Amino acid sequence: MELLSNSHNELTLNPGSIQPHGVLLALSTQLEILQVSSNTQVYLDKQPEELLGQPLSSLLDAPGLEAIAQLPTEEIDTLNYLKLSVPTKEGKRDFHAFVHHLGDKIILELESTQSPDEVNFINIYALIKRAIAKLKRTNNLIDFLQLAAQQTREITGFDRVMVYQFDHQGAGEVIAEVKTQELSPYLGLHYPATDIPEPARDLYRRNSLRLIPRINAQPVELLSSIDDTPLDLSLSVLRSVHPCCVEFHQNMGVAALMVIPLIKNGNLWGLISCHHQTPKYVPYEIRSGCEFLGQIVSSELANKVIQEEVDYKARLESLRSGVVESISQVDNFRDALIQPEPRLLGLVGATGAAVCLDGEISLVGATPDLEDVRSLITWADTQVNDNIFYTDSLPKLYPEAETFKDAASGLLLLRISKLRHYYILWFRPEVIRTVRWAGNPNESIQVNPDGSFTLCPRTSFEQWQEIVRLTSAPWQECEIDSALSLRNAIVGIVLKKAEELAKINQELERSNRELASFAYAASHDLKEPLRGIYNYSVILLEDYASVLDEDATEFLQTVISLSVRMEALINGLLRLSQLGQAALQLQAVNLNELLDQVINVFHASRQQHNLELRIPRPLPTIRCDPVLMNEVFSNLITNAFKYNDKAERWVEIGYLDQQGGQGSNFSTLSSPGSHSPITFYVRDNGIGIPPHHRQTIFKLFKRLHTQEKYGGGTGAGLAIAKKIIERHGGQIWVESTPGEGSTFYLTLE
Ligand code: ADP
């Protein structure tokens, strides 16, 4: 510690100093002057030696002493203000006095009231009142802060007024700014947390305004004679500026500085920072106006931030309900989710998304490519907890992501169904791409372990860059909640739809069963009386032929043929109803062998036939019920023969290539799913089927001709064939050119 000698006393130079725009006196509780700043001569017309060790009464008159004695002592961290008149050799001088208690000391700071500007307190009051009224009218946070900056500038006249906001790591971002035109903008710039070291932040928390009228002013040291304990100047309005801070601001071309801390819920949320290119003193009246404005902004801040969050949540909710509405209204789940794309992204504030349904992936916005997304899902699925997984540093957990960090340094994955492979993924880019750095990155402030800080090359810049490398903006709680609520809604809708479907199916099954057993019972029970009618008619015809006249014989013959026909119809109905109930006997069946049997039976049952059978290439072996497929082919071949008036009748049986056939005009039904079943065909050169009957011929008892034509029939054959094919999970349909022939196509799953 340096010692100064003079003729009267031995004075001690204390650590700590003040700015030269005022004087500081440290007093004992008995109002004895213990320490003073070395500039007392300038303001008080007295040398420090004349004051040190003296009672305060040597400086102030009775009313001044009385005013100081009256100040409350118990409140800590409170700066008291009063106006003081100090008698000097040159007459009375007026001061703004700031008094605070510091342990067993009282700190008295005096600033001259003679300011360069003529300050009218009434004007300031009017300005502040107007500013507050305007602030109250703003709706969103940024507008509010922009207006706060604007009003501060209007009141103070600084070249530049900015509002910084600190993030959870303490880094600052300029989110509002007003400035003279010639200055380059700082809006949007980021400052590393180390630019404002923790001790400085602590001081901002404790002081409602800090003024540095001349950043490079020579600091004024503190002197003491009796008491040389260092003073804690945390609450001092005149506290001098740390050399780091001086250098930092000089680098930015700032000559004067005023800072108003913004406090939200007791925490330092940000700063209103005012810069001037030339030295600038701000009179006390204006400062106290700004201080008041700062407090209004601070207290409104919490409301505005909450409002902002509430608004954002409401926005997420409205997007979500839009998606949910779309999903519940349309059948195409994927489209309902994806369209419109900004809605899907907005749900959680993402820049890209991938929707994976049944393993099929659709991409929206900026995303990794399809294969990367596929592998990512496989990995992320193992990380899922309660159907969700999110990270703002994906490449650190999943190194493969480093290649697509620009699209997906942040991932939020929502698992809707593991079984169905339903996932929604949202992506965010690496944040460093969106950060613009402020100041000279080669210089920074470093905090030493003892809490002091020094200027050093800006290694902290690298460090901070390291922290944000491969990192996205963090997912907010409300965004995660939004994703989870979407999942609940989707699951709810899907479950509801599945329940409705199951109900309908149950109902259908029940009525199907009822119908089948009714048809079976009816046809079965009808056969017996029918047999009776037939038998008695035959007996009548044979045994009573002598007593029957010609008409009666003819009537009886009609009864017999009608009952035969009715039996055939009943048999058809019976067969159809049986088909619905019996289980399929599936096995590998060589269709060539099956067709041999069909043809043999066909030939055996007809003495006379002239049907040429064509099988252009061997048929494959397929899995089916051989008895039922036999029935299908024999029905189709019989029809091909029956409904043919050509001299040379032929029927061709074959199958189409997987790609879609044999060239020409063959077509195949494309089926959903990856494997498409084989399409078989049975083609003839018969009479053909008119277009409007190509569906109806598959209905039960539908015939296109009278009994007499084309050998009769019940109209049940194709209905039975259709039922068999459907039982196999396949389809049957016909294409035909009347007069030239028909082709029946069939598929089996
Ligand atoms: P049916 O016992 O009358 O033959 P189907 O159900 O087998 O009953 O056929 C229904 C109707 O479809 C037939 O009455 C006939 O008019 C028409 N039809 C079926 N196959 C052919 C074909 N190969 N060519 C032309 N018409 C056909």
Distance 693 CA to ligand 1 centre (A): 10
**Residue intervals in the chain for CATH 3.30.450.40:** 121-308
Q: What is the mean pLDDT of each run of 10 residues along the chain (749 residues)?
A: 33 76 93 94 93 93 89 74 89 92 90 67 81 86 93 94 88 91 85 76 88 94 81 90 79 90 91 95 90 91 85 92 86 84 93 90 95 95 93 94 94 89 93 51 50 45 52 91 92 78 82 77 81 91 89 90 85 80 87 92 74 92 92 94 91 82 39 63 95 91 82 86 92 94 93
Pairing of strands 649-655, 611-614: parallel
Instruction: Give the CATH class of 17-112.
Output: alpha beta
**Residue intervals in the chain for CATH 3.30.450.270:** 330-430
The residue behind tokens 């900015």 is 162
Q: Which of 697, 698, 725, 732 to mutate to test the pocket of ligand 1 (most atoms within 8 A of CB)?
A: 697
Q: Are 258 and 158 in contact (CB under 8 A)?
A: yes
Calpha distance 734→746 (Å, rounded)? 9
Does an H or E element contain 570, and which?
A: helix 550-581
Q: Are 100 and 81 in contact (CB under 8 A)?
A: no
Q: Which atom of ligand 1 is nearest to the CA of 720?
A: 6
Q: In this predicted structure, what is the pLDDT of residue 98?
A: 94
Report the topology of domain 121-308. Beta-Lactamase (3.30.450)
Ligand 1, atom 21: nearest CA belongs to which residue? Answer: 639
Calpha distance 388→344 (Å, rounded)? 17
**Residue intervals in the chain for CATH 3.30.565.10:** 584-748
Residue 334 Cβ inside 6 Å of ligand 1? The answer reads no
515 Cβ partners below 8 Å, 6+ apart? 577
Residue 682 Cβ inside 6 Å of ligand 1? The answer reads no
If one counts every other C-beta atom within 10 angstroms of the C-beta of residue 440, the result is 12
Residue 171 Cβ inside 6 Å of ligand 1? The answer reads no
DSSP one-letter string for 521-557: HHHHHHHHHHHHHHHHHHHHHHHTTTT--HHHHHHHH
Calpha distance 4→221 (Å, rounded)? 12
Per-residue b or e along 111-120, where b marks 16 or more CB atoms closer than 10 Å to that residue's CB: bbbebeeeee
Which CATH number applies to 495-577? 1.10.287
**Residue intervals in the chain for CATH 1.10.287:** 495-577
Distance 217 CA to ligand 1 centre (A): 110
Residue 718 Cβ inside 6 Å of ligand 1? The answer reads yes
Q: Which atom of ligand 1 is nearest to the CA of 714?
A: 2
Q: Which of 650, 718, 735 to mutate to test the pocket of ligand 1 (most atoms within 8 A of CB)?
A: 718
Q: In this predicted structure, what is the pLDDT of residue 3?
A: 28
Q: Which atom of ligand 1 is nearest to the CA of 684?
A: 23
Calpha distance 171→51 (Å, rounded)? 45
In 387-458, alpha helices (H): 394-397, 405-408
Q: Which atom of ligand 1 is nearest to the CA of 713?
A: 2
Half-sphere exposure of 611 (CA within 13 A, CB side): 27
Report the topology of domain 584-748. Heat Shock Protein 90 (3.30.565)
Which of 3.30.450.270, 3.40.50.11740, 3.40.190.10, 3.40.50.300 would CATH assign to domain 330-430? 3.30.450.270
3-state secondary structure of 450: coil
Q: In this predicted structure, what is the pLDDT of residue 674?
A: 41
Distance 628 CA to ligand 1 centre (A): 18
Q: Which atom of ligand 1 is nearest to the CA of 744?
A: 23
Residue 684 Cβ inside 6 Å of ligand 1? The answer reads yes
Residue 705 Cβ inside 6 Å of ligand 1? The answer reads yes
Distance from CA of residue 75 to its chain's centroid?
49
Distance 716 CA to ligand 1 centre (A): 9
Q: Are 172 and 164 in contact (CB under 8 A)?
A: yes
